[in-house]
Amino acid sequence: MRLTRKLNIMWLLLILLGADASLAGNRISLDQAVENARLDSDGRVISAETREWEGREIYDIRILDKQGRVKRM
């Protein structure tokens, strides 16, 4: 029971810290997001743009992987 309570508190703190960062406007740029996606996927970026989704700005990045498939991140 104690471990579960500690884990719940830890998750709550992580959620609150994440919300605080997003409210403070700590965002990465589109260029940074493209570089992160490229490194994570080991593919080639074929398009990247900023879009609005559910009232929030998101980055829509498309990657061509080594098998020839297009992935959206």
Tell me whether strands 44-53 and 70-72 are parallel, antiparallel or unpaired: unpaired
Helix (H, G, I), strand (E, B) or coil at 65: coil
| pLDDT value at residue 36 | 86
Phi, psi (rounded to 5 degrees) for 65: -85, 175
Q: What is the pLDDT of residues 6-64, one digit of tens each?
A: 666 766 665 655 554 455 566 788 898 888 888 888 889 999 999 988 888 888 999 89
| pLDDT value at residue 6 | 66
| pLDDT value at residue 22 | 52
| pLDDT value at residue 49 | 92
User: Is 35 or 3 the better-scoring residue by pLDDT?
Assistant: 35
Select from 73, 44, 43 the least CA-distant residue to 61: 73
In the chain, domain spans: 2-72
